Amino acid sequence: MPMAQATGTIPQRRLDALAGRWRWSASRRREAITAYLFLVPFLVFFAIFIVRSVVYGINVSFYDWKVLAPDHKWLGLKNYETLLKDPVWWTSIRNTAIFALLTVIGTTILALAAALAVNAPIRGRDFFRVVFYAPGVLSVGVVGILWQWMMDTNFGVINYGLNLLGLPKIPWLSDANVVLPSLSLVTIWWGFGFPMLIFLAGLQGIPEPLYEAAKIDGANSRQLFFRITLPLLRPTILFVTVTQFIAHLQVFGQPYIITGGGPGYASYSVIIYLYQQAVRYLQAGYASAIAIGLAVIMIGLTLLQFAFLGRRPEGE
């Protein structure tokens, strides 16, 4: 009796609302299940090859972990202590940082200049777009073999050309002070095409009326570039520099193939060191510490870049 009475007192619309909510949550549950079915393949790979490996890698770095050894000795932070006192580590950090800085600055400026040029309505721009992107399809092995010979001090075609122009020979790869800019030059040549495409996409996203309005107000092309193009490209520049930094701090192939890290240790990069420790000396523990040391530096630099470049432009 009280039940019936109670039911009778609940307004019909509330019942409907309750029923509706129930139906809604059932469809919601179905939607969640569908979503996870869509996600399963990705999550499986993500869990095995990324999450597990990052956790595992951090763990390995606390051991004296030899690749083929049956068991491994716990070292705590010892690998990191060794790392901080390791002159080869610091040399490789210095080389990698110089290389990455030169390459990122060079790539960004060249890619932006090329994008502005091939964004203009001129004849043959598809041709230029293809040529500028073309080196990017080569593998690092080919890039290395090609430039190793071109940059040879005595028999290289570049110094031959300089000689024809009456200029002195440059010891591209054999001088410790020149080798990093040389490798950076090779890398800029190889890789500026993709950032150029990204800048091009960014430029095409800037609404044309903005330029027209500014032109009516009497702005010259320099003002158009510094007041409109550059501020509006800020997110693009951030994207390009961040991804370029992450890529170039992991430089391996160019020095490994072209100079073998030399002369001496002048172009020895962090990843070459990691590779040598892991593959040549089978020191997985120490190699992991190197990787995590680099990761910490890279995360720090990325945050710094966001802090400097990620600020919203004034007036927005």
Give min distance, CB of 171 to other proteins, in A.
18
Residue 192: closest CA among 258, 257, 240, 141:
240
Residue 35 or 77 with smaller CB distance to other proteins? 35
Cβ burial, residue 140 (10 Å; 0-12/13-18/19+): middle
For the beta carbon of residue 253, count every other beta carbon within 10 angstroms: 18
E-state strands within the chain: 63-64, 73-74
Give min distance, CB of 103 to other proteins, in A.
16
Give min distance, CB of 265 to other proteins, in A.
19
Give min distance, CB of 73 to other proteins, in A.
17
Residue 197: closest CA among 126, 122, 99, 250:
126
E-state strands within 227-273: none
Contact 263, 255 (CB under 8 A): no
- Distance in angstroms (rounded) separating the CA atoms of residues 162 and 168: 7
Residue 9 or 126 with smaller CB distance to other proteins? 126
Structure tokens at 316: 């927005």
Give min distance, CB of 292 to other proteins, in A.
6
Give min distance, CB of 146 to other proteins, in A.
6
Q: What is the DSSP letter of 225?
A: I
Residue 59 or 74 with smaller CB distance to other proteins? 59
Residue 15 or 35 with smaller CB distance to other proteins? 35
Give min distance, CB of 34 to other proteins, in A.
5
Residue with tokens 């309505």: 121
Helix (H) or strand (E) holding 115: helix 87-119
Residue 12 or 220 with smaller CB distance to other proteins? 220
* DSSP letters spanning 51-66: IHHHHHHHHHTTEE-B
Residue 174 or 276 with smaller CB distance to other proteins? 276
Residue 91 or 277 with smaller CB distance to other proteins? 277
Give min distance, CB of 170 to other proteins, in A.
16
Residue with tokens 């609302």: 17
Query: How many residues are present in the chain?
Result: 316
Residue 102 or 188 with smaller CB distance to other proteins? 188
- Distance in angstroms (rounded) separating the CA atoms of residues 30 and 34: 6
- Distance in angstroms (rounded) separating the CA atoms of residues 190 and 137: 9
